[in-house]
Structure formats: structure tokens, C-alpha cells
Copies of this chain bind each other. A is one copy, B any other.
Amino acid sequence: MQINVVIHGDCVEELRKIPAGSIDLVFADPPYNMQLKNVLYRPNNTKVNGVYDHWDKFGSFAEYDSFCAAWLGECRRVLKDTGSIWVIGTYHNIFRVGNIMLNLGFWILNDVTWHKTNPMPNFMGTRFTNATETLLWCSKSETSKKYVFNHKIMKRYNGGKQMTSVWRIGLCTGAERIKGADGKKAHSTQKPEELLKRVILSSTNRDGVVLDPFFGTGTTGAAAKKLGRNYIGIERETGYVEIARNRIAGIGELWEEAGWLEEEKNIR
């Protein structure tokens, strides 16, 4: 099995080629099935650039469920018994995804709330500002007790207090947000590296293998490399694959701040 590669192909199809019990961690940021129907304007009459990508369109809940059962089932197969999985979503999809994961036998360890520091407001005043996304962190089954959790490292990362399941992190904007040749965002839903840093730092060891079946522009690979972990990315869109490969190739330095990489063993 090749590691530190971006595989260009269909998610489920490529997952099937990966040997059973070979992966330490899965991070998955699947399509959310947003079901946006109208155009939304801000009070100043500018248009909100919503997610209308073709890859986020599903005909029904049944179709979406069936897709998720397929890729989640494969993820469970390729995980080591000591491995774990993170899946991110919003209320649009996370209750479908969570239900399927439970039915497949995954065991929820935490439902982590990404509390966005700068969410988009609800312009029309019809609901509360939607300020979160949810990350489900699961072991392979109820009896998988030896999953990796770097408690001491995360406690130190959090300033000496045990880290909770609420993470205050800003949106991916500014220099971190990858732009295309036209100056517009290259991907509708790029995640902040800080999110992946916490995921990988908390639930893998050095030299572990992280698999991301919806690689996009490669945030998971970038964070894995900076933390001294290995990655396998699967992505269907040619454009994203190219961006991800270039992005990761350009990474020279690891994240050494606070000595995570040097001192991990001592802290642990």
C-alpha cells in the first residue's frame, strides 16, 4: 500500500483497494447535501456565494444514506482495531451520518463542536445564527478500548487544562484560503488547518497513517505532513487533486511550536 499519495478516483471504488486493518485514522469531510434552493442576499443586496457544487447534490435522503453507508462501511473495514474515525458535518447531514455510523457498529467517543468565531449571520432574522459544525469521533466498536488519545499532549496544548469537546476556531479565510487563477476560492468548503491539527495530534502517533476519502484541496495531508504523520488522500475532482499535490509538495517545515514533535514521547 502506497502512502503519502493523492489518489485520483471515486471514493468507494478506491477505498475497496485498500487492505483491511491498515489505517490508523480516517478523517472524512463528506458532501453535506445542503439542499439550497434559493439565492440569498445580504441586507446590502450582495449575493451570498452558497454551495451549489454538483458534488453536493443528492436526489433524496435515501440516496444520500446509501452513499454514506457505502463509504463509511469501507472506512470501517480499512481501519486497524486500534484506529478511529472523525467525520465532520452540519445539521444538514450529521444526523443521517451519525445514525448510519451507529448502525455500522462504530462507537461514539465524542461529538466535538467546532464553534466558529466568525460565522455568517442569519441575515433575515429567521433563526439563530448557525455557528457550529459537528465532528463525530468514533472508535471501530464498543470493545475497541485501545484507540489512540494523546490526553497529556492535548491538555498541554490547551494551556494546562483538559481540552473539552468545544473548539473555538475561525473560518478558513485570508492567506490560508487557497485561491484559483481567477482570485476566487478554489474550493467551496476548505477547512482550517487548526481543525485538522487538533484531530491528528489528539488521535494519532508519529508515523501513523491518516486516510481522507474526500481530500479536496488537501488540508488533511498538509496537517499530517506538518505533524510528521503519513497520509492517503482520495479525491474525484481533477482540479482539487492538482491543487492538493502542489500544496503538500510546498510544505518544508513541520509544526514545531511548543515542541509538539520533539517532546511528544516525553509528554506522553
Question: Which A residues from 110 to 153 make CB contacts under 8 A with B?
Answer: 110-113, 115, 119, 121-122, 125-132, 134, 136-137, 141-143, 149, 151-152
- Tell me whether B132 and A166 are in contact (CB under 8 A): yes
Q: Given the complex of chains A and B, what is the CA–CA distance between A35 and B142 in angstroms?
A: 10
Question: Which A residues from 42 to 101 make CB contacts under 8 A with B?
Answer: 53-54, 57-58, 61, 90-92, 94-99, 101
Determine which of B54, B96, B111, B152 lies in contact with A134 in the assembled complex, contact meaning CB atoms within 8 Å: B111
Q: In this assembly, does A173 line the interface, its C-beta being within 8 Å of a C-beta of chain B?
A: no
Q: Which of A101, A115, A141 has the most CB of B within 10 A?
A: A115
A interface bracket (residues with beta carbon within 8 Å of B): 35 or more
- Tell me whether B99 and A130 are in contact (CB under 8 A): no
Question: Which A residues from 7 to 25 make CB contacts under 8 A with B?
Answer: none
- Tell me whether B95 and A113 are in contact (CB under 8 A): no
Q: In this assembly, does A102 line the interface, its C-beta being within 8 Å of a C-beta of chain B?
A: yes
Interface residues of A (CB under 8 A from B): 35, 53-54, 57-58, 61, 90-92, 94-99, 101-103, 105, 108-113, 115, 119, 121-122, 125-132, 134, 136-137, 141-143, 149, 151-152, 154-155, 162-166, 202
- Tell me whether A102 and B149 are in contact (CB under 8 A): no
With both beta carbons as reference points, the residue of chain B lying nearest to A138 in the complex is identified as B91
Residues in chain B near residue A113, CB distance under 8 A: 113, 115, 132, 166
- Tell me whether A105 and B57 are in contact (CB under 8 A): yes
- Tell me whether B132 and A151 are in contact (CB under 8 A): no
Q: Given the complex of chains A and B, what is the CA–CA distance between A109 and B90 in angstroms?
A: 12
Q: Given the complex of chains A and B, what is the CA–CA distance between A108 and B89 in angstroms?
A: 14
Q: List 25 A-B contacts (CB under 8 A).
A: A53-B141, A54-B105, A90-B111, A91-B108, A91-B136, A94-B98, A95-B95, A95-B99, A95-B102, A98-B99, A111-B130, A115-B115, A115-B166, A122-B162, A125-B149, A125-B155, A125-B162, A127-B149, A128-B162, A129-B162, A129-B163, A129-B164, A129-B165, A130-B164, A130-B165
Q: Which of A61, A152, A166 has the most CB of B within 10 A?
A: A166
Residues in chain B near residue A128, CB distance under 8 A: 110, 112, 137, 154, 162-165, 202
